[in-house]
Amino acid sequence: MNPRRKFQVMSAATLGAGVFALGAWAGPHIEQVALNGPAASQAATAAVASAAVPMTEAPDYRSIVARFGPAVVNVRVDGTATPGDDDGDGAAERGSGQDNPFGNDPFFRFFRGPQMPRGPVPTHGLGSGFVVTPDGVILTNAHVVKGATKVMVKLSDRHEYKAKVLGSDPATDIAVLKIDAHDLPIVRLGDSDQLQVGDYVLAIGAPYGFEQSATSGIVSAKGRSLPGDSSVPFIQTDAAVNPGNSGGALINLKGELVGINSQILSGSGGSIGIGFAIPVNLAKSVMTQLIATGKVERGRIGVVGQNLTPELAKALGLKDAHGALVARVAPGSPAEKAGLKAEDVIVAANGKAILDMPELRNLIGLLKVGDKVELTVLRGGSTKQLTVVVGKNVEEKISTGGKNGKESGPSTLSPKLKGATFGAPEEGGKGVQVTEVEQNSPAAEGGLAPGDVILAVNRHEVNGLDDFQKYASGDGDLLLYIRRGDGALYLVLQ
């Protein structure tokens, strides 16, 4: 994390807050008063407006904390870290403990001054977690235990145990610990898919080392994608979570765990009412694999895709912008075997509506290798049903080619491409390569970048510069199909 940013998304490393959604506020009591004339009309209108808002008792936070609070634990970590490690996963969020009593606090880095030791240094950190089985299986954040040489767990009754890390998955920021204990209080795992924006939640953890602290709030949003966390559809909440809460529980009105507090957005290091929790449904799948094998094997179907914007939907002749646009299908992949093609739009998977590419990726990521996923696909104005068998995650590289000195004549192209020069890709491949893009030019504003290889224009395949000049002329919108780096994407230049 870069301390020069005004606001940052930070690991609530050592965050440990659990969230409980509990009820609604009690509304004001309205007395009936006998009135005549305009006053009566106004009173009636006010009564109708008030009656439209259901009034219930305030959430019983006290009972939920009393019942489930004992399952939330403190996690103390000794380990090593390299100063200046800003990979965002918490490795640099633990301090040496000599100048910071809350060593694992990512935000106290702002107050330590410019002098930092070089090379690996001992670290001491604080975090939170919660017990999920009576025999001592505990969930927490992966960033809390990264680089740990010793992990200690303190229960609510103040008994301490040395913990073993059964497995850690940095991609989802989930780790599983095990302590040698029995008959422990546990949390009940709920269904995060049932959460709705506005639901009350309660967070319990150890912010700044203050054990068994509880804060309340609501679910502010669902399915948040954060930079560097593409595999996690975060739950956003305004419950106050702070350093020391990482790994804590987020609980709903039924007293069920719905999320694991992980990160906060902050400009000062403290809570500003924007926190992020990992959905428990994702945690369940990861936990099962970590307990069984110590690692997570993610399934993939072999597509590169992107969100369907209104501009892309219009260019593709679609009515709305809901769905995941397939930009490329890997050769020999499960997707290719099932019949998926570039330009397909996936609008549902296993009966669940798909709004964008992250939602599809998250759904596939919860499946195991060998599982089947039923996809509803829009193609050429018709709807198709395809069945894909989830396969192993195998990376595939695509050559992007390089620059050469042969450029096209930009005067024959659409004004939307002004500021860019083009040439044939090296190695004699198909398409036209973008060799240069002037800053702030129409081409740059449209999304083109040096190294892009344009494979099609307005759905016409481009085999060379002649094809490109032919199809990219005129003033109309341009739908470009581009190979970029290891993937592919569609761009619309309006």
What's the pLDDT tens digit per position in 254-298?
899 999 999 888 777 778 889 999 999 989 989 998 999 998 887
CA 425/CA 399 separation, integer angstroms: 10
Task: Write down the pLDDT at residue 244.
Answer: 87
Residue 319 has pLDDT above 70, yes or no: yes
More confident of the two residues 103 and 347: 347
Catalytic residue (choose from 11, 220, 246, 414): 246
Does 183 qualify as catalytic in the annotation? no
Q: Kindly report the average pLDDT of the chain as a whole number.
A: 79
Of 189-193, 325-329, 393-397, the poorest mean pLDDT is in 393-397
Closest CA to 302 of 386, 399, 193, 222: 386
Task: Write down the pLDDT at residue 393.
Answer: 66
Residue 17 has pLDDT above 50, yes or no: no
Of 118-132, 263-277, 402-416, 441-455, the poorest mean pLDDT is in 402-416
The bridge status of strand 345-349 relative to strand 352-353 is antiparallel
pTM reported for the whole predicted model: 0.68
Q: Are 189 and 257 in contact (CB under 8 A)?
A: yes
More confident of the two residues 368 and 346: 346
Residue 247 has pLDDT above 50, yes or no: yes
Task: Write down the pLDDT at residue 259.
Answer: 95
Domains and CATH numbers, the chain: 1-29+56-292 (2.40.10.120), 299-392 (2.30.42.10), 410-493 (2.30.42.10)
Of 20-34, 101-115, 123-137, 417-431, the poorest mean pLDDT is in 20-34
Q: 202 pLDDT band (50/70/90 cuts)?
A: very high
Task: Write down the pLDDT at residue 121.
Answer: 78
Task: Write down the pLDDT at residue 11.
Answer: 63
Does 143 qualify as catalytic in the annotation? yes
Task: Write down the pLDDT at residue 335.
Answer: 94
CA 40 to chain centroid, in Å, comes to 53
Task: Write down the pLDDT at residue 84.
Answer: 56
Residues 6+ apart with CB under 8 A from 304: 326, 327, 328, 329, 330, 487, 488, 489
Half-sphere exposure in the Cβ direction for 426 (13 Å, CA): 9
The per-residue pLDDT for range 139-156, each reduced to its tens digit, is 999 999 998 999 999 999
Catalytic residue (choose from 128, 143, 262, 356): 143
Q: Which residues of 126-164 are buried (b: 16+ CB within 10 A; e: fewer)?
A: bbbbbbbeeebbbbbbbbbbbbbeebebbbbeeeebebe
Catalytic residue (choose from 89, 169, 173, 356): 173
Of 70-84, 204-218, 333-347, the poorest mean pLDDT is in 70-84
Q: What percent of the chain has pLDDT over 90?
A: 40
CA 387/CA 165 separation, integer angstroms: 37
Which whole-number Å values give the CA distances from 313 to 141, 345, 458, 494, in the listed order?
Answer: 38, 10, 13, 13
Q: What percent of the chain has pLDDT over 70?
A: 76
Q: 57 pLDDT band (50/70/90 cuts)?
A: low
Give the containing element (helix H, strand E) for 5.
Answer: none
**How many other C-beta atoms lie within 10 A of the C-beta of residue 357?**
22
Of 76-85, 282-291, 392-401, the poorest mean pLDDT is in 392-401
Closest CA to 365 of 293, 294, 279, 307: 279
Closest CA to 127 of 222, 47, 242, 215: 242
As a whole number, mean pLDDT of residues 439-444 equals: 86
CA 292/CA 286 separation, integer angstroms: 10
Task: Write down the pLDDT at residue 118.
Answer: 62
Neighbouring-strand partners of residue 461: 456
CA 325/CA 347 separation, integer angstroms: 9
Q: Are 114 and 189 in contact (CB under 8 A)?
A: no
As a whole number, mean pLDDT of residues 78-92 equals: 55
3 state DSSP class of 247 = coil
Task: Write down the pLDDT at residue 52.
Answer: 54
Question: SS3 for 41-101, per residue?
Answer: HHHHHHHHHHHCCCCCCCCCHHHHHHHHHHHEEEEEEEEEECCCCCCCCCCCCCECCCCCC
CA 350/CA 372 separation, integer angstroms: 9
Q: 427 pLDDT band (50/70/90 cuts)?
A: low
Residue 442 has pLDDT above 60, yes or no: yes
Does 180 qualify as catalytic in the annotation? no
Q: Is 28 exposed, middle or buried (0-12, 13-18, 19+ CB in 10 A)?
A: exposed
Task: Write down the pLDDT at residue 100.
Answer: 38
The per-residue pLDDT for range 356-388, each reduced to its tens digit, is 888 888 788 778 888 999 999 999 889 999 999
Q: 412 pLDDT band (50/70/90 cuts)?
A: low
As a whole number, mean pLDDT of residues 111-120 equals: 51
